Amino acid sequence: MKKLLNVFIYVLVSTFLLLSCQSINTKKNKQKEKPNIVWIVTEDISPILSFYGDHTAKTPNLDALAKESMIYDNAYATVGVCAPSRSAIITGMYPTSIGTIHMRTGKDIFGWGKRVYLDSTKVNIRDLSGKKIRQYSAVIPGNVKCFTEYLRKNGYYCTNNPKTDYQFAAPLTAWDENSWQAHWKHRPGNKPFFAVFNIGTTHESRLWRNENLPLTVSPDSVPVPPFLPDNAATRKTIARLYSNVELMDKEVGIFIKQLKDAGLYDNTIIFFYSDHGGPLPREKREIYDTGLKVPFLVKDINSRHKGRTDRLISFVDLAPTVLSLTRTPIPDYMEGKAFLGDRQAAPRQYVYGSSDRFDEYSDRIRSARSKRYLYIKNDYPELPKYKDIHYRKQIPMMPVFLKLHKEAKLNPIQESWFQTKNVEELYDCQKDPYQLNDVSDKPEYKKALNEMRQALHKHLDGKTDYGKMPESELIAKMWPNYQQPVTASVLIEKKNGKYYLSCPTKGASIAYLITDKPVEKINFDARWQVYEQPLTLRKGQYLTTVAQRIGYKESSLTSSNSK
């Protein structure tokens, strides 16, 4: 009997240990699984949402998401307008470092881009030297890629719907899908996905394009920032902004519901943010917090990390952060630092901003921001802070604002936007959240001024700042003789039954298709793959390749078939 009992105990313990090992192995395997990631990107709003203390707009979907997320109180765009900031997001590089600083270089705004660039005879824009410039696709350093190319090589299905606006045409290697129809639902099998959904409802242009829609927020209830005149025109425009925010929230709800209906919500990391600050006058295009500070939250797997953080993050940090979360190697050239994942870096002390050409108006400003202070260096202090940009004049309140300025009926704070600048500016953002009082000449801020001045100097020291070059010279450098360079065609070499691809153009990436029929021209709707290792074809299949270095025109097609 005792012997039988010992056998029973032995079997019981062995079973328990076996199940424990299986459980541990299961946990390890789950840890090695690649997480899905979704970005929900809205446009042109500052942190004016309820989870930042502004309850003017009713945003139930974002409120619910915020309760399950980590909210970032110090998130900053690199530029107060979309295209340069989006170039930083997709590359992990500062626009000053790669020549994507000017808003905007061409019409490569949605999907794969128009890829047609008007010459200077059809573009009435001049640079700081007074020379006329043409449209162009920015030629960035050859080693710099769209970070999604690395994700695709790591097995991710990457989709973008549909705004790109990188200052260059998106290469075919950047996305599996890049259109109004792009969606993670189209991925093959259970492939992990990275999906971007862009919401244009809060864009500056919707302040006038949505004029015929009913206001869901009363003009009487909106907060009016002190840098704007408080009148009926201003309040109506601000009410339209908050009404647009409520519309945007409904769109967020649709994306969340799609994930929940598919049973993927808990296992997907969700980012929500705006591409830069708000759309109102003295917000968009500014290097103050009104132009650079954005709402930003991240919902983790199973909402593991919730709450708030005052950690400083910059848009250059997004690319390495996604690579860190997906266990994809982070290239050494990236200037951003991961703030999540296995390879997150130490917290930042500063974030940096730049301001150069916006549409037809050119200037050059650089900034450094700590948690408390904002330091600004103006290279052209004689130019006014206000940029007389035609596009912005379509905002319904702008004619009244400009009329009050002309009639000298603005108060000193509001009028200061139309004045020239100091060479240096310093703001104590704890005491002055709108950066209205420059304290750079105050003795009690001398130490802070020196610290912030040195922070910006250290950031720029030893780096190429392409904004220091007149844009006409920058274009000539990128496009010799003002002609877009062309990527060389792919070379196909067959060895031992495998196909090896290469491109003579340094920095070019190669995309390919394997089909049962020959491909005569580039079809941007096809599922082009990223080449990284030799390919094998079945008998009768066709291999079609195209290469592109970012900023160059893509190569002509090169094909081969297995007979």
Residues serving a catalytic function are 82
As a whole number of angstroms, the distance between CA 50 and CA 66 comes to 9
Enter the tokens of residue 389. Answer: 């940009």
Can you give the C-alpha Rg of the chain in angstroms?
A: 26
As a whole number of angstroms, the distance between CA 534 and CA 532 comes to 7
Q: Are 151 and 194 in contact (CB under 8 A)?
A: yes
Tell me the pairing of strands 193-198 and 351-355. unpaired
As a whole number of angstroms, the distance between CA 483 and CA 135 comes to 11
Q: Are 97 and 334 in contact (CB under 8 A)?
A: no
Instruction: Give the closest residue to 168 by CA, choosing from 94, 91, 92, 96.
Output: 91
As a whole number of angstroms, the distance between CA 113 and CA 133 comes to 20
The amino acid at residue 280 is L
The amino acid at residue 460 is L
CA dist list (Å): 323 to 295, 326, 486, 559: 22, 5, 30, 32
Beta bridge partners of 501: 492
Helix axes 60-67, 232-261, angle to 10 degrees: 60
DSSP string, 95-128: HHHHT--SB-SSS--BTT-------TTS---B-T
Compute the half-sphere exposure of residue 421: CA atoms within 13 Å on the CB side of its CA. 22
Enter the tokens of residue 454. Answer: 């040195």
Enter the tokens of residue 229. Answer: 């005149």
Residue whose entry in the numeric block shows the structure tokens 């940009």:
389
As a whole number of angstroms, the distance between CA 437 and CA 424 comes to 13
At 231, give phi and psi (nearest 5°).
Answer: -145, 180
Q: Are 349 and 370 in contact (CB under 8 A)?
A: yes
Cβ atoms within 10 Å, residue 536: 11
DSSP state of 197: E
